């Protein structure tokens, strides 16, 4: 009978005890926790007035924060899974085609407009260190990076090991005046970084070309044609990454309502100039490789011709021996000196003299 009043008293005192435990403040319900960013998210941050805001929020929360002030979110992804990219697409309003493109790799540099977002695709490049160049050496590693640009967001999706964007983020965060221009400032920084990598890779490839050139024109001529072919294949892959970027960059330097702000167009012009340098160097390397290949093939043709002359010379020397032995091997009854006591040594002496004479003649003419 006393249990019911006791329970009633505890129900009345429980709120008071909770308020005392919380310092006199009423208890608040904990907000529902959002799961952490997926593993494909390299970094996610909100930028306001050119400065990064504290924390590394979930991309959905970060995008929500940009609605209340002049800011944008930069989401960096590396080889996202289809499910992750689909959720990112729903959060930022990307169309299905853009999501499908972001999951795949191997895209060609381009600039496209998808609904309210702009897509900029660039190829990444990295130099692969190697002790020596062989017929199977990997010299240049390429990938791609896709930059989705909206009014309040920029999403970078990278495929491949080359072209990490962490240095880009660190560098642009140190330039708040540029970053204050919005998402297009990130696009400018990514383009500048990729073009710098092109020039860096071109410098390393130049050293490989110098080594190949030395072996091609060395006295021993130890250059292997397969080495030249392999470097040629790597240069062609590098060329496909660099040359197609000229058209998108040229478009970004033109005044367009959906393009970068005027303050950034001059910076894109600088990047276009750097890209022109990279294009010139890649073209020069390609021409040099063609010249080296033609030179090496000409050397091989000369070497084969020399070999054929040597073979022909030795065949002529052997033919005289065969002729003498063949004639006296016919065993006709009436033959000069057939029954001569010194006929056999004389035949050997004639064969040796003929061989010696031909050998001297071929040596003087350069065939041996």
84-109 tens-digit pLDDT: 999 999 999 999 998 998 998 888 99
pTM, entire model:
0.75
Q: Which is more confident, 334 or 156?
A: 156
Q: How confident is the model at residue 30 (pLDDT cuts 50, 70, 90)?
A: very low
Q: What residue ranges in the chain does DSSP mark as E strands?
A: 41-48, 51-52, 71-78, 110-114, 117-127, 140-149, 153-159
- All domains in the chain, ordered by first residue: 1-30 (no CATH), 41-301 (3.30.460.20), 303-365 (no CATH)
Residue that is written with structure tokens 């340098």 in the block: 277
Q: Is the pLDDT of residue 339 over 80?
A: no
Question: Average of pLDDT values for 22-37?
Answer: 49
CB 198 within 8 A of CB 283: no
Closest-CA residue to 70 (of 156, 163, 159, 181)? 181
DSSP 243: G
124-148 tens-digit pLDDT: 999 998 888 777 888 999 999 999 9
């Amino acid at each position: 009978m006393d249990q019911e009043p006791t329970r009633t008293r505890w129900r009345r005192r429980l709120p008071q005890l909770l308020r005392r435990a919380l310092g006199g403040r009423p208890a608040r319900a904990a907000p529902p926790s959002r799961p952490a960013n997926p593993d494909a998210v390299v970094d996610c941050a909100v930028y306001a007035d050119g400065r990064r805001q504290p924390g590394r929020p979930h991309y959905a929360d970060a995008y929500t924060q940009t609605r209340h002030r002049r800011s944008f979110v930069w989401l960096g992804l590396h080889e996202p899974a289809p499910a992750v990219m689909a959720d990112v697409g729903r959060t930022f309003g990307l169309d299905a085609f853009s999501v499908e493109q972001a999951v795949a790799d191997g895209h060609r540099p381009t600039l496209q407009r998808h609904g309210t977002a702009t897509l900029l695709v660039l190829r990444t490049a990295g130099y692969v260190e190697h002790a020596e160049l062989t017929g199977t050496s990997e010299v240049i590693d390429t990938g791609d990076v896709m930059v989705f640009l909206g009014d309040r967001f920029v999403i970078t999706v990278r495929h491949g090991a080359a072209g990490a964007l962490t240095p880009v983020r660190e560098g642009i965060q140190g330039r708040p005046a540029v970053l204050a221009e919005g998402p297009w400032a990130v696009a400018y920084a990514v383009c500048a970084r990729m073009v710098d990598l092109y020039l860096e890779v071109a410098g390393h490839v130049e050293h490989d070309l110098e080594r190949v050139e030395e072996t091609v024109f060395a006295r021993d001529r130890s250059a292997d044609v397969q080495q030249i072919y392999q470097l040629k294949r790597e240069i062609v892959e590098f060329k496909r990454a660099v040359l197609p970027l000229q058209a998108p960059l040229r478009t970004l330097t033109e005044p367009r309502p959906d393009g970068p702000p005027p303050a950034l167009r001059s910076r894109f012009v600088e990047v276009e100039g750097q890209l022109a340098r990279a294009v010139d160097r890649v073209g020069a390397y390609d021409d040099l490789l063609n010249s080296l290949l033609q030179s090496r093939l000409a050397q091989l043709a000369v070497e084969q011709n020399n070999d054929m002359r040597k073979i022909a010379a030795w065949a002529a020397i052997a033919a005289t021996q065969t002729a003498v032995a063949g004639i006296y091997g016919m065993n006709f009854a009436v033959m000069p000196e057939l029954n001569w006591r010194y006929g056999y040594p004389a035949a050997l002496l004639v064969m040796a003299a003929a061989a010696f004479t031909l050998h001297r003649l071929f040596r003087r003419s350069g065939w041996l």
